[in-house]
Chains A and B, each alone.
Chain A
Amino acid sequence: MKIVVCIKQVPATHEVSIDPETKRLKRESVEAEVNPFDLYAIEEGLRLRERFGGEVVALSMGPPQAQWALREALSMGVDRGLLLSDKAFAGSDTWATSYALARAVETVGAVDLVLCGKQAIDGDTAQVGPGIAAHLGWPQATYVSHVQDAGAKHLTVTRMNEDGHDVVQIDLPAVLTVVKDINTPRVPKLRDCRTALRAEVAVLTADAVRAEPARIGLDGSPTRVVKINPPPPRGGKTLVLDGSPAETARRLVHELRMKSLV
């Protein structure tokens, strides 16, 4: 099975903030890491390779420093890393990002399966996985929590939803987005990290994947982020309830019920 795992480099979240003066996102100084959800996709790719043989390729679109995300994937055991990097990709929204990634998957060629994380913790949209599937014209299953079985031409997987889960059979090639329940990602060993640091990471430009200029970057992005604000401050004051348990319960349950929260 030839598997491409899409990984995004993201800022380590808890440190992201808005500069109160410029109202812009402060992310320069912040450490970057592989999108945590993508570690599960990498791990699942490795496990599928262990079960069924084949190759796992990690693919990331981003600036040159996104190579560090690929090196992390390499240290976990993927066979090779591909960095899709070109100034022309700058400003891509999920439409353009998924288009570029789909082109890269086609460039890799003969791919059976694309694995994505559930969502990226910065953009938080969860749109890129289904977007890749649409651009490739492949079937998709999202929020996958278990891969039961694989045949030559299809996979049987469990996908989650708010009410429970479905067991579905999906033809290959396909795109899956995976959730945390699917596995526990391995922690790389020192030896493998050292090797990964020296490994070659191939860089692909927009031309190399034959991405049409009108479909990538800002020009290829239908959406525009027009404003970024800090979240509104926590509203209101603390209401202290120190009556009898019954009184307190009545008051609290009433408040929650007014907002349909119980």
Chain B
Amino acid sequence: MEVSNIRLKPRCDYDFPVNYQNSTPTQGGQFARRVYLSADAAYNPANPAGTAQPVPLQRVNEELNNLSINNNNNAPVAGASPFGTPVNGVPGASPRLTDSPVLRPSNGWSAPQSPIVSQRPESTQNSSSSTSNHAGEVIPLSIAPEVQCPPTFLRMTYNNIPQTKALANKSNIPFGCIMHPLARPQSQSDVIPVVSPGLCGVVRCRRCRSYINPFALFVDGGRRWRCNFCYLTNDVPTDYYSPLDATGRRTDLADRPELQRRVVDEASPPSDSLPEYMVRPPQPATYFFLIDASFYAISSGMFHMTIETIRRTLDEFPGSPRTRIGFITFNSSLHFYNLRSTLSKPQMLVVTDLSEVFLPLPDDLLVNLVDSRAIVDTLLTKLPSMFPVTQNVDSAYGMALKCAFELIKPIGGKIISFVSTLPSMGDGKLPNREDSRIVGTDKETILFNPSLDDKFYKDLAMDCSRAQISIDTFIFSSHQFLDVATLSSLSQFTGGENYFYLNFRSDTDGEKLFHDLRNNILRETGFEAVFRVRCSKAVNVESQYGNFFVRSTDLLALPNVDADKSYAFQFQLVDNNVSTKYVSIQAALLYTTTFGERRIRIMTQCLAVTNSLADIFRSSDVGAVTTLLTKIAVEKALSSKLSDARDMLVNRCVDILTVYKTDLASRKENTQLLLPEALKLLPLYILSVTKSTPFRLGTEVKPDERTYFLNLFRISSVQNIISLVYPTLYNMTNLHELATPGTEEFVTLPNQVNLNSEHLSRSGMLLLEDSQQMILWLGRDYPQQNMYEIFGIPTLEGVDLSTLQLPQLETPLSVKLHTVLNAIRSQKSVFLPLRIVREGEGREYLFTQRLVEDKMRNSTSYYDFLVLIHQRIQKSQ
């Protein structure tokens, strides 16, 4: 059998052309630098199933006989595409495009290789011919755009629009999308063209203000265009006019990316139309650092590591030469730093009286980085020695924030703060709300929400949002309650982000802090942004999920927006019966780039209306469905309680599958558990979500940690959420057999296996990766020889694994291991620290608790969960 099944590819966040096995490494432009092949494909192409799909379920099926999984054989949906993807290539599109991975939004998510995944017969692969109707297929109104909306930027939960409200409700699948406007490009097709505006500016509909897009229809010989949102016929501006060819396409189509691509960047028009896109000239990139200098910050090494990271990143700060920078350190007093470029060395100004803080020399506390480069460098070199170990355990964080706010208020920008002590002085002082009696009970919810007594942080967040300031908070906890919920409300409403380090130690966590902070500064960032989603009249946005402030009914204020933020939207039908054939959705992000250009990122999606439930099921994207449900569950956990959130997830899963069975299953008398092809991983993912860190039952997860993860889930993209709840597990036992990396371009990754303990052998080695960290698990009897090659010592008996660093050795096994680790890291935007655990050792739970298919203390195994779901479906019929 030909190796053509994408599932054999280890999960890989970079979507390479599907036919990568045949391509030479140099093909495919800059994105082919690294190509990750599955181990099988690399050294055993004859055995595509060699990834050893363990099929525990089939085994169980034989035992139980009444439970089996619906594979394609009894799939009621005729002609379902092989990857459960609705979006067929537009007929006539070039074969290259049909093969393009972007046509299959969900294929990246088949990777977990669940036991329920079975090989599909080749015959169903040819789906385009067997599709009887047009539903699910995107036919543009005017021209066939050459490329589908890249899933990197926009993923719908299903790629159809239900015709009636009844149909939308009936499927039980949430109707929405996850948008990731500044996502990092993952393939050549994700590189966004920048359209420079002509003299006429950006072409927009006169009535609904939507932007021109590939689905607009040019009529009247090209002199007018019909808006695909409100159907108003607009005049084409004279500068934009182009005659139409015989097929009705504009003759200049090739030069107009905005009419061909679903995601484009429009550079904002010149200043004559200034008021429309900006209220002031674009701001310079502005960074203000607030660094805790209290006892724990100094003693844990956080202070030194932070300063060192900033110093080493100074040369790379974006936005040069306009970048502005400033610093405040704080403990029981506030320390300002005069960085005027004409000084020979920086001046420190200490304010101890917090009752009336005034800002000394406001102009010299926030300076241009280029002008004051030398003096900033001096400051950062000297700072660590200026704060020797102190006994000062107080924190005037609130006052520091207020000063930073006043300083950058006229410009806007980013405040990056580092907090290791509960604010204890002046404004913004927080009491320790943690009450061990409520941890683990339903009342714990109040700890996930900002304190009800707090006015300071929420009001400050509002002020910051208005002044275009975003606040990122790095929180370092020493097992002490830090009220992450209240502190993070600052980030939540200003489009910022939180980082949380439990029991921070610079020797083990320093590397992660270094990479996190660098990524925070260097990633693509947009300033003073607003985000708006427009839909055809039939549909509107019901609710939004993410870190933002809703400034008016459909306008999200984002003082900062960056490559790691995604936003989820839930739609609802306005009309009871949608009369149009297509519905368009357009998201526009207006932002200032770090180099001071005003841009609009426009993402347009046009979907066919359907009245068939089968189309909805067939076109669903399990990753997006899981992500949206998770985000709804986060809100539920915050507004109600964790157990309600878990119940909601399971109930939704049961409801979806029940509808599928009652309405779509071909054989009604069938007593098997039927899973829709596109959503076959849904039960697995839902179970994984309920077992994930924030939703897990029990008291091991501290309230602060839960809050952090709930916040993280709120902003995470589909890829990250799936990876967080269902980590990738590599079987590294036969690492020495792995093909040696021949060239720089090829890295062979080990086999991926399911997340259950069947693969744990006493002489084995496994690697788990969840987009936050990697955990290397070693069996008790892992060969001494290998151990020696990897660690330089024959046994790990008696070694403190919590501080053990993986040495870089010259031995073949060590080289291979490091190659694999680096390859995995290079696919992720955040740095993945490596933890090492051993079978039977105390910290092994870090690893075993992630094996979501296993039965755990407080939760069911995947198999039991399927049985439970099956019983509930049977009952509800």
Asked if A and B are interacting partners, one says no
Q: Which residues of A contact B (CB under 8 A)?
A: none
Q: Which residues of B contact A (CB under 8 A)?
A: none
